[in-house]
Amino acid sequence: MQDDPPVPGGVAVVVDARGSHCPGALMELIVALKHARRGEFLLVLADDPGSAREIPEWLAKVGQRHVSTRSEQGVLHIMVEKTRG
Amino acid sequence: MRIMIVGAGIGGTILANRLARLLAPELQRGEVDVVVLSASPRHLYQPGLLHLALGQTTVDALYRDQRTLLDPRIALLIDEVVAFAPDSKQVRGASGNAYSYDWLVIATGSRVTPEEVPGLAENAHGFYTEAAALRLAQALQAFDGGRVVVTTGVPHKCPMAPLELTFLLQDLFVRRGIAPRVDLLYTYPIGRLHSIEAVAEWARIEFARRGIRSATYFNIAAVDGATRTVHSEEGLSVDYDLLIAIPPHRGADAIERSGLGPRGWVPTHRRLLTMQGRDDVFVLGDTTNLPVSKAGSTARFQAEVIAANLASRVRGGGDTHGYDGKVLCFIETSRDRATYAAFNYAEPPRPHAPSRAMHMAKTFYHRLYWSSLRGFP
């Protein structure tokens, strides 16, 4: 079993979107990022497989940083850094 | 012993009425009182606002006197809560009165905040207040062709609203004979047409069939009223003749001011619906920070759980029920067809083809709304 990668200052916000079919993990992340500060790290927990593709795809479009994705017991751990805005 | 419910929307009203039945002996003996604190003496049927905007209903059909919707054993106080003080087990109203409780249920709902996006409040139509819905109804009546852009903020009320609005608009334009002159563009914040993949796929096929265009990964950044352009965080810009927004929303001001939860959403135990760190405070409906749809059905299912657990606690027992994330949403796809999505934390939604039968079920539900507030069974 791996751990989430260490990030400077630690994880500022955990977006726990497990069981969220609607509005879903990406929508929860969009809200959390809006209110996070630049340089903060957010950890998304999601159990829908689509988030592994969709979240990095959206982060690339808006210029935010996808740090890592790993899966543990069916739960995706997606680390994100707010780099702009 | 006092149970205080702050907020008299669908969740608060159903909860109060269920408690009146579950705690009938205790209420009769005067051992318990259940008090509803509401900002308004009138109850608004929120889903009706969309139909008001589309000219399908009238203002008077959307309201009832709140007192008439509550069991006579429930006390109703009209005062807008301005502060929560959980340490002293009190809430304070705009009147200056302080209200004490033994158990508190926060059911203050949410409020749209288009002002969070530059230019949105000034330039976009909406339908989440009576005034906005009436303005949109007038704008639609005067509209004779051009580009209509539907745009959605995050987070937003009822996740079905953007699609439902779009389908009903297209239906309206067809019926008015102006569809060939209308370019209907649906925008959505994520990479498909709806959060639920099955609904998104069904909508993709319907859009193609009905000639509705779409732009995904579109989060509204700003609206420029002078050039009639809406810009997205992702760098897209689209022109519009008529802009209709499902705006972002937040929880009640009093929650933010009292430090109970950022943006007015109270951190909530996902199963027991208690406020995190507070065993004597429950959270109901839109007010929770749970990752579930902010919709009337959510509040309805949660009210059942809270009512059962509160009744058990009054009698010295423990919590007997848990919320499983259940949500049930109808989607009107035209004037005579509808479908629905049902799901919970563990079970994803499964698609159902739109049908006349489901449209009739939804119409029936609309008509039953007022009596369903009684909280039966």
Residue in chain A nearest B156 by alpha carbon: A23
* Of the candidates B47, B61, B264, the residue with the CA atom closest to the CA atom of residue B160: B47
Q: Does B345 touch chain A (CB under 8 A)?
A: yes
Report the C-alpha dihedral over residues A53, B323, B193, B245, rounded to 10 degrees: -120
What gap in Å lies between CA B56 and CA B295, rounded to an integer?
21
Where residue A8 falls among pLDDT bands split at 50, 70, 90?
confident
Six-digit token pair at B258?
A: 């009292």
Q: Does B336 touch chain A (CB under 8 A)?
A: no
CB contact under 8 A, A62 and B233: yes
| Among A22, A61, A73, A84, the one annotated catalytic | A22
Helix, strand, or coil (residue B136) = helix
- Give residue-wise pLDDT tens across range B311-331: 999 999 999 999 999 998 888
User: Residues of A with CB below 8 A from B298's CB?
Assistant: none
| pLDDT score for B202 | 86
User: Residues of B with CB below 8 A from A30's CB?
Assistant: 154, 189-190, 219
What gap in Å lies between CA B228 and CA B288, rounded to an integer?
36
Q: Does B195 touch chain A (CB under 8 A)?
A: yes
User: Residues of B with CB below 8 A from A57's CB?
Assistant: 191, 217
Where residue B134 falls among pLDDT bands split at 50, 70, 90?
very high
Residue in chain A nearest B270 by alpha carbon: A19
pLDDT at residue A1 above 60? no
Lowest pLDDT segment from A10-19, A59-68, B283-292, B330-339: B330-339
To the nearest whole Å, the CA of A12 is away from the closest chain B CA by 14
CB contact under 8 A, B154 and A23: yes
CB contact under 8 A, B291 and A50: no
Helix, strand, or coil (residue B66) = helix
| Domains contained in chain B, CATH given | 2-109+252-324 (3.50.50.60), 114-249 (3.50.50.60)
Q: From the candidates B151, B220, B233, which should be mutated to test the interface with A, based on the most A CB atoms within 10 A?
A: B233
Partner residue opposite B191 with nearest CB, options A16, A48, A54: A54
Burial B106-118 (b: 16+ CB within 10 A, else e): bbbbbbbbbebbe
CB contact under 8 A, B343 and A22: yes
| pLDDT score for B204 | 94
Where residue B377 falls among pLDDT bands split at 50, 70, 90?
low
Residue with tokens 């500022």: A12
Where residue B157 falls among pLDDT bands split at 50, 70, 90?
confident
Partner residue opposite B154 with nearest CB, options A20, A30, A57: A30
Establish if A1 belongs to a structural domain: no
User: Residues of A with CB below 8 A from B341's CB?
Assistant: 22
Establish if A3 belongs to a structural domain: no
User: Residues of B with CB below 8 A from A23's CB?
Assistant: 154-155, 159, 195, 291, 293
- Give residue-wise pLDDT tens across range A15-28: 999 988 888 999 99
Q: Is the CB of residue A49 less than 8 Å from the CB of residue A28? A: no
Q: Of residues B352 and B82, which shows the higher confidence score?
A: B82
Task: Tell me which residue range forms the domain holding A34.
Answer: 11-81
- Give residue-wise pLDDT tens across range B41-98: 999 999 999 999 999 999 999 999 999 999 999 999 999 999 999 999 999 999 999 9
What gap in Å lies between CA B194 and CA B201, rounded to an integer?
8
Average pLDDT over residues B179-203: 93
User: Residues of B with CB below 8 A from A58's CB?
Assistant: 190-191, 217, 234
User: Residues of A with CB below 8 A from B196's CB?
Assistant: 21-22, 24
Q: Does B119 touch chain A (CB under 8 A)?
A: no
Establish if A37 belongs to a structural domain: yes
What CATH number is attached to the domain comprising A67?
3.30.110.40
Q: State CA A6 to chain mean position distance.
A: 14
Establish if A54 belongs to a structural domain: yes
What gap in Å lies between CA A33 and CA A17, rounded to an integer?
14
Establish if A49 belongs to a structural domain: yes
Distances (CA, A) of B185 to B172, B190, B217: 15, 15, 13
To the nearest whole Å, the CA of B196 is away from the closest chain A CA by 6
| pLDDT score for B272 | 98
Q: Does B325 touch chain A (CB under 8 A)?
A: yes
Residues of A with CB under 8 A from a CB of B: 16-24, 26-28, 30-31, 34-35, 48, 50, 54, 57-58, 61-62
* Of the candidates B89, B26, B36, B98, the residue with the CA atom closest to the CA atom of residue B67: B36
User: Residues of B with CB below 8 A from A22's CB?
Assistant: 159, 194-196, 292-293, 327, 329, 341, 343, 349
Where residue B351 falls among pLDDT bands split at 50, 70, 90?
low
Q: Of residues A85 and B192, which shows the higher confidence score?
A: B192
Q: Does B162 touch chain A (CB under 8 A)?
A: no
Establish if A30 belongs to a structural domain: yes
Q: For a pLDDT cut of 90, what percent of chain B falls above it?
A: 83
Residue-averaged pLDDT of chain B: 95
The DSSP bridge pattern shows strands B90-93 and B81-85 to be antiparallel
**Annotation marks residue A28 as catalytic:** no
Establish if A45 belongs to a structural domain: yes
CB contact under 8 A, B291 and A58: no
What is the C-alpha end-to-end distance of chain A, expressed in Å? 34
> Domain count of chain A?
1
Q: Which residues face B81 on adjacent strands?
A: B93
Cβ-based neighbours of B124, under 8 Å, separated by 6 or more: B114, B151, B223, B230, B243, B244, B245, B247
What count of other Cβ atoms lies within 10 Å of the Cβ of residue B211? Answer: 13
Q: Please give the order of strands across the beta sheet that includes B229-232.
A: B220-224, B229-232, B237-239
CB contact under 8 A, A48 and B234: no
Establish if A65 belongs to a structural domain: yes
